[in-house]
């Protein structure tokens, strides 16, 4: 299988590099941790090494060291499409080589062969009330597949050694990502289309098949949006809440389904993945409140009221980024090229002109610029995907590509169980008084 062959070719190089680092530079100090960092979500403390992606504070995410613009240009596209095929993106995340179109298609073919979702997953989702949380359905569906895990089988097989665990983890990752479009679409149809389910179409690529299964197959532009959306949301470094959670759980040798389900639960939080839903709702409320595209003064009034109510302005700010998110820019260009007159998009553009200035005035927001969530919802809304409480599922569908790649990499280099240290306030106080 193509991904296994590529990783196999690299794994000894990766392992030697890690072993050499530890042997030769194990005592090299790269960071000191301050009291403030411990109390502020271990912000900025380096906790991971992963070559898959890196958030450059001033330029945004880089996948395998390629910027978003480079990725959009360099990854292979299916004939007639302007946006990369998702299979090629997965190939790049799992390895460090830009794939050809033939290789991207091979990954898509592998997904196609493994796309059948076990019936029990649908039964579990059906057990939720229709108005239940879409993310809880997704997480439960993913977690349930733990019983199919090839890694668990390998772990109990005396003939399989630790050095080969990555192979069954990769197998599980391909199974899981292959099934994700159907699972995500099933949730959409259950919740918002009176359970009218649509079978997958094996002729379609990953993104187009998802579009088809939620009833948007007639509009090729929506498939293009989903190719772009999946690419932009696939990964954002291995230290954000969802990726780090999955990594942490995986470090206990839990299988990929348990790890990813835990990661999805983190993604469901309003300060992380749920922000795209909150952002779209905020934009819609603003648009409806002023009965149309608001003026600058109206946006200013509305944003100040949001802050005065003690709320954040969703879609703005970031824990690491210190610039306009290039993923926001890519989405803006998509909308400008295809539906510049869309009223919600124009509202989002007007907000972009006003909100950074207001956030700067507060004097405390470290990054006043928009992140990708500032536009996600407006773009989905344009295509009639108006159910904002579903948007985090779209994020999860995309993000599992990055998360599974990080977990496979961690297994490939035999990363050990994670166990940082906690301390008491008294210990902290005495450490400080001893040094003063």
Say whether residue 181 binds ligand COA (CB under 6 A).
no
Structure tokens at 170: 């990769």
Say whether residue 188 binds ligand COA (CB under 6 A).
no
Q: How far is the CB of 71 from ligand COA (least distance, A)?
A: 19
Total residues binding ligand COA (CB under 6 A): 18
Say whether residue 208 binds ligand COA (CB under 6 A).
no
Strands 66-67 and 60-63: antiparallel
Nearer to ligand COA, 129 or 310 (CB): 310
Identify the residue among 366, 384, 427, 431 touching ligand COA (CB under 6 A).
366
Structure tokens at 86: 């998702």
Closest residue to ligand COA, judged by C-beta, is 317
Using an 8 Å Cβ cutoff, are 397 and 351 in contact? no
Nearer to ligand COA, 143 or 401 (CB): 401
Stretch that binds ligand COA, among 3-11, 27-35, 191-199, 315-323 (CB under 6 A): 315-323
> Of 172, 255, 373, 382, which is the active-site residue?
373
What three-state secondary structure class fits 53? strand
Nearer to ligand COA, 364 or 419 (CB): 364
Say whether residue 371 binds ligand COA (CB under 6 A).
yes
Say whether residue 244 binds ligand COA (CB under 6 A).
no
Long-range CB contact pairs, 351-355, < 8 A, 24+: 351/283, 351/286, 351/299, 351/303, 353/296, 354/296, 354/299, 354/300, 354/303, 355/299, 355/303, 355/313, 355/316
Residue 245 dihedral angles phi and psi, to the nearest 5°: -60, -50
Burial of residue 203 (number of CB atoms within 10 Å: 0-12, 13-18, 19+): exposed
Structure tokens at 125: 């989702």
Tell me if residue 164 is catalytic: no
Strand segments (E) across 60-189: 60-63, 66-67
Say whether residue 53 binds ligand COA (CB under 6 A).
no
Q: How far is the CB of 240 from ligand COA (least distance, A)?
A: 8
Residues 126-155 that bind ligand COA (CB under 6 A): none
Structure tokens at 123: 């039964």
- CA-wise closest residue to 75 among 59, 55, 57, 93: 93
Identify the residue among 151, 210, 287, 316 touching ligand COA (CB under 6 A).
316
Tell me if residue 406 is catalytic: no
Nearer to ligand COA, 60 or 215 (CB): 60
Say whether residue 271 binds ligand COA (CB under 6 A).
yes
Say whether residue 42 binds ligand COA (CB under 6 A).
no
Using an 8 Å Cβ cutoff, are 111 and 87 in contact? yes
Stretch that binds ligand COA, among 123-131, 245-253, 334-342, 362-370 (CB under 6 A): 362-370
Stretch that binds ligand COA, among 96-104, 106-114, 180-188, 316-324 (CB under 6 A): 316-324
Say whether residue 234 binds ligand COA (CB under 6 A).
no
> Of 182, 212, 272, 382, which is the active-site residue?
272
**In 363-390, alpha helices (H):** 373-382
Identify the residue among 373, 402, 408, 410 touching ligand COA (CB under 6 A).
373
Dist. CA 110–CA 398, nearest whole Å: 17
Structure tokens at 74: 């360099």
> Of 212, 233, 236, 318, which is the active-site residue?
318
Tell me if residue 318 is catalytic: yes
**In 238-364, alpha helices (H):** 241-251, 256-267, 275-289, 296-308, 326-338, 343-362
Say whether residue 364 binds ligand COA (CB under 6 A).
yes
Residues facing 62 on adjacent strands:
54, 67
Say whether residue 413 binds ligand COA (CB under 6 A).
no
Q: Identify the residue whose tokens are 């030769």.
A: 24
Nearer to ligand COA, 317 or 377 (CB): 317
Q: Give residues with Cβ within 8 angstroms of 199, minimum separation 6.
A: 213
The 274-313 site mask, x for binding ligand COA (CB under 6 A), equals -x-------------------------------x----xx
Give the binding site for ligand COA (CB under 6 A).
271, 275, 307, 312-319, 359, 364-367, 371, 373
Q: Which residues are catalytic?
A: 272, 318, 373
């Amino acid at each position: 299988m193509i991904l296994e062959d590529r990783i196999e070719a690299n794994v000894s190089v990766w392992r030697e590099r890690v072993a050499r680092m530890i042997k030769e530079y194990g005592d090299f100090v790269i960071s000191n941790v301050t009291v403030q960092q411990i109390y502020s979500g271990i912000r900025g403390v380096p906790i991971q090494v992963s070559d898959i992606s890196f958030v450059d504070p001033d330029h945004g995410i880089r996948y395998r060291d390629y910027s978003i613009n480079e990725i959009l240009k360099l990854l292979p596209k299916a004939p007639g499409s302007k946006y990369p095929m998702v299979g090629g993106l997965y190939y790049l995340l799992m390895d460090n080589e830009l794939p050809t179109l033939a290789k991207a298609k091979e990954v898509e073919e592998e997904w196609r062969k493994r796309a059948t979702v076990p019936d029990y997953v649908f039964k579990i989702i059906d057990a939720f009330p229709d108005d239940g949380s879409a993310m809880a359905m997704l997480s439960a569906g993913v977690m349930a597949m733990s019983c199919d895990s090839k890694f668990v089988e390998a772990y109990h097989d005396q003939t399989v050694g630790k050095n080969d665990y990555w192979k069954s983890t990769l197998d599980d990752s391909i199974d899981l990502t292959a099934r994700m479009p159907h699972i995500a679409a099933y949730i959409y149809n259950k919740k918002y289309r009176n359970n009218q389910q649509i079978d997958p179409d094996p002729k379609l690529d990953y993104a187009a098949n998802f579009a088809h299964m939620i009833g948007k197959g007639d509009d090729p532009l929506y498939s293009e949006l989903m190719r772009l959306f999946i690419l932009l949301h696939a990964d954002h470094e291995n230290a954000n809440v969802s990726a780090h959670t999955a990594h942490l759980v995986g470090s206990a040798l839990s299988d990929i389904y348990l790890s990813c389900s835990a990661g999805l639960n983190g993604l469901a939080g309003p300060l992380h993945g749920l922000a795209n839903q909150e952002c779209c709702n905020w934009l819609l409320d603003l648009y409806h409140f002023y009965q149309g595209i608001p003026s600058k003064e109206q946006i200013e009034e509305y944003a100040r009221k949001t802050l005065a109510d003690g709320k954040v302005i969703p879609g703005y700010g970031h824990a690491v980024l210190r610039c306009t998110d290039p993923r926001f820019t890519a989405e803006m260009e998509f909308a400008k090229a295809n539906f510049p007159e869309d009223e919600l998009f124009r509202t989002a553009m007007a907000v972009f002109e006003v909100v950074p200035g207001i956030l700067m005035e507060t004097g405390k927001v470290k990054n006043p610029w928009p992140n990708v969530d500032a536009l996600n919802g407006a773009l989905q809304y344009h295509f009639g995907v108006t159910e904002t409480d579903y948007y985090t599922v779209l994020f999860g569908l995309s993000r599992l590509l990055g998360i599974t790649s990080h977990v496979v990499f961690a297994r490939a280099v035999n990363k050990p169980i994670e166990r940082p240290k906690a301390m008491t306030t008294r210990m902290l106080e005495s450490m400080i008084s001893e040094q003063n």
